[in-house]
Amino acid sequence: MHLKTVQRIELPPAADMHVHMRQGDLMKLVAPTVRQGGVDTAYVMPNLVPPLTTVDRVLEYKKDLEAAAPGVNFLMSLFLHASITPEVIALASAAGITGVKLYPQGVTTNSDAGVADLKAFYDTFAAMEKHDMILNIHGEVLESLAPPGMTLEEAFLPTLKSLHERFPDLRIILEHTSTAAAVEAVKACGPSVAATITAHHLYLTETEACCNPHAFCKPIPKKPTDRDVLIRTIAEGNPKFFFGSDSAPHLLHTKNDAAPGKAPAGVFTQPFATQLVLLALEEGIERGVIAEDAVSEEILANFLSRHGRRFYKLPEATPTKKIVLERQGAAIPESVRSADGSVEVGNSRAGDKVFTLRWKEA
């Protein structure tokens, strides 16, 4: 297949292994956009206000999500916090909660209750290993802790390595990898360590992220060379790497009204999640980063759908359900808005032409 010229692609539904669905009216607005982006399985982040630190609240939230977006399989996570003891892990596992998200304290949106001392959680990690729960990591250190000249993500990589060595059977995912160094570090670990790659880290670099509030996110997009390594990694087809959009909606006015450099971190890609991955790969081909024929349907299905499901030990996607992508000249609208206009989120890459996506269920 030549992605640049192909008019129609049929794929299994995508599995988006990192989404932010928020709460209240914002949740009601964004949850239905999961299927619009071609996704039938979404792994939900727990950085709500307050963070999801009890099994009961996670289960309640899951019900709210299912009501807001029928037809999506929402997989749930707990927010790692002092209250997440080995006993809570046993309860969470029995309740069908999939994993636990580790936010180093203060590194990103709603992470103030995150982890300051990793050693305090070793018993919890041992319990997760025993119950086969997933540890999702926001792999960055605080700016004050990064050695000069090193990115916040690179400075975290030794911690990833040592956690993996201490808990070799614990399934760990380094979320939203943004550097060539992180890709290498994940490859160097055993098969229990994997990584998600977002759509936006395939097309943004520090140049846009510094100055456009809609491109500002954590981890901050890096150099063109890092972006291109992520693109090549997808084309290599390594099963350790799979899709997690990290789509992170913020109300439009909080982005637009923020002082320069002060916008809340997060790029909203959910309604065009699959299409934006395709667009970024197409641009990778145009820049000569990967070959014209490097993006086959097999490569796309593996990255967008199969690798994630396999790492999470989920069943394969239902073979009768497909997403069909066709070039019809459609462009991404400026925003997603509630009917009364009171809730609005700006789309990443508004105005750009993308494939039109529809569901095909035999």
Radius of gyration from C-alpha coordinates of the chain: 19
Token couple for 145: 């802790």
Tell me if 265 contacts ligand DOR by CB under 6 A.
Answer: yes
Rule CB under 5 A: choose which of 129, 228, 246, 282 binds Zn ion.
246
* Smallest distance from Zn ion to CB 177, Å: 12
314 binds, among ligand DOR, Zn ion, none (CB under 5 to 8 A by kind): none
With respect to Zn ion, which residue has the nearer C-beta, 129 or 246? 246
Interface residues for ligand DOR in 145-204 (CB under 6 A)? none
Cβ contacts of residue 280 below 8 Å, gap of 6+? 199, 202, 203, 231
Rule CB under 6 A: choose which of 218, 222, 227, 349 binds ligand DOR.
218
* Smallest distance from ligand DOR to CB 166, Å: 24
Residues in the chain: 362
* Smallest distance from ligand DOR to CB 12, Å: 27
* Contact range with Zn ion by CB under 5 A, out of 245-253, 254-262, 277-285, 305-313: 245-253
266 binds, among ligand DOR, Zn ion, none (CB under 5 to 8 A by kind): ligand DOR
Interface residues for ligand DOR in 73-112 (CB under 6 A)? 108-109
* Smallest distance from Zn ion to CB 234, Å: 19
Tell me if 138 contacts ligand DOR by CB under 6 A.
Answer: yes
Shortest-Cβ-distance residue relative to Zn ion: 246
Preceding peptide of 86 cis, ω within 30°: no
User: Which residue type, as a one-letter code, is found at position 264?
Assistant: P
* Smallest distance from Zn ion to CB 136, Å: 9
* Smallest distance from ligand DOR to CB 179, Å: 15
- Residue 310 burial (CB count, 10 A): 16
* Smallest distance from ligand DOR to CB 263, Å: 10
Tell me if 255 contacts ligand DOR by CB under 6 A.
Answer: no
Distance of CA 277 to the CA centre of its chain: 12
Rule CB under 6 A: choose which of 104, 266, 271, 308 binds ligand DOR.
266
226 binds, among ligand DOR, Zn ion, none (CB under 5 to 8 A by kind): none
109 binds, among ligand DOR, Zn ion, none (CB under 5 to 8 A by kind): ligand DOR
Asked whether 298 and 233 are in contact (CB, 8 A), the reply is no
- Residue 271 burial (CB count, 10 A): 25
150 binds, among ligand DOR, Zn ion, none (CB under 5 to 8 A by kind): none
Asked whether 33 and 349 are in contact (CB, 8 A), the reply is no
163 binds, among ligand DOR, Zn ion, none (CB under 5 to 8 A by kind): none
What residue ranges bind ligand DOR (CB under 6 A)?
20, 47, 108-109, 138, 217-218, 248, 265-266
What residue ranges bind Zn ion (CB under 5 A)?
246
